[in-house]
A and B are shown apart, each in its own frame.
Chain A
């Protein structure tokens, strides 16, 4: 038994070959067999079995009564709130914390009869690109356990890769869904900023964060996006634009215009084989009749600096709520109130989180605010305007998801700057708020997966998914 799409599972259920209980058993045994990968923070074993039993009964009584996600076994990143369940953002500071409510995205999948099998490991407060900054220890890549799975949604990527669930929900602030998807050979998609409510997502950088989907098939990404998208009165940045049906007629109409950045593909940081394979793909797309052209994007090397100024500023503000008073870890060494704040935060947060909070406090502090924070906001506008200008002439931008294949666990731990620069191709989509997807496109000669990324204009998810499906069918 091995399934790569919800449609095939639902077909097997209707043919009587399988039911929810057997599916849950199957995934639970895979979870048990992949414990060395350190994917799960908590497995909701009994609960998943009970829910499967209930759903099988409901289906037997009336097959039309079940929701759109009937038969879907899913895991969720440890930053998404699920009522009466633990959520810790991979941090000691939230040890033992249980959410009082469910995130809107979680509630919407539950309403459609998804079975949540557990919550998965991630970088602490989603800060990292290798899933090494977690209080629960690093997650390992299932292709090669000495390699990182990418981050911050590393647990989600390996959960899908190792078939411990069909789909996983991650979050993407600067590539945290797409880069681990690329490193693990699965699909990872972040939608337009505002398409999915952020209510109940533990905030890292609020003007960048989005819920995203990791899956084996474009069809599964589409159906999850259908279910989770739409306005939410609990998130005033959620978009009230009507939601497309992302599953219907996922066909490519006519020939597309695709841009790529010459300076990205010639960048000093890019792996030779990733470059070559990207150019091969460009040739194949041209052979299909699409117009694929180089465009100038002069801001490429300014994306990462501006991104780290803005996100650390937002993080230092967002993470001020963790003060040890109303919830979370409280130090037993404190004697006064300010001591509670300082000692609880110091004991609770890991090194990378402290580093980013300190940097954020710096760029927001009086005397430095304009030189760093305002400057970065201005650069964000330049990047945004230039990107939308490209979309006046082109349907998509094509770029690798990561300049390199997965590196060894421990390799980039000592140099934060080196680790930050690895986000160079994914951050643009979050800076601008546009949708982007990473598709597995073959293997590096060292056997490791690679991901190619498509970026589309705001709210163009449907076209992006249709083209992705077409690419997967033709080439991968």
Chain B
């Protein structure tokens, strides 16, 4: 598997990043080196192995259907980069 520039551009969009051309080339080189290391996984036959998804032993965790961990408006807006009295502000979405 080789990662080319068009795949890098696709991943860049999926990851919501905007890389410069030199960064793209750098990341392409790094990802190809990393994938070469990762290819080692293919040496193992895993045909009859179930993927391991959860490593804790907890079963389903039930809780009362009660409102908890609420944040009031003042706190919710406290760390906002742009806001008014009531809302987070972003550029116009509908044009």
Contacts and interface: CB of A to CB of B under 8 A. Distances in A.
Interface string B36-71: 111111111010011111111110010100000101
Interface stretch (A63-71, A220-228, A299-307, A404-412): A299-307
Contact of B58 (A96, A194, A345, A415): A194
A340 B91 contact: yes
- Best-buried of B23, B44, B55, B79 by chain A (most CB within 10 Å): B55
Contact of A416 (B3, B12, B30): B30
Given A193-B56, A346-B17, A361 B11 contact: yes
B75 interface: yes
Contacts of B27: 354-355, 358
Interface string A360-400: 11100100100110111111111010000000000000000
A196 to B, nearest CB: 12
Interface residues of B, number: 55
A465 to B, nearest CB: 21
Interface of B: 1, 3, 7-8, 10-12, 14-19, 23, 27, 30-31, 33-34, 36-44, 46, 49-58, 61, 63, 69, 71, 75-76, 78-82, 88, 90-93
Task: Classify chain A: how many residues form its interface, as a range.
Answer: 35 or more
A328 B27 CA distance: 25
Given A239-B57, A354-B19, A379-B44, A328 B52 contact: no
B74 to A, nearest CB: 10
Interface in A302-339: 302, 304-306, 308-309, 316, 320, 323-330, 334-339
Given A323-B16, A325-B88, A378 B37 contact: no
Contacts of B51: 374, 377-378, 380-381
28 contacts: A193-B55, A236-B61, A237-B54, A239-B57, A305-B37, A308-B34, A330-B82, A334-B91, A341-B16, A343-B18, A346-B18, A349-B17, A351-B23, A357-B15, A358-B8, A358-B11, A359-B31, A365-B14, A372-B38, A378-B49, A379-B46, A380-B51, A381-B49, A381-B52, A382-B44, A415-B33, A417-B37, A421-B37
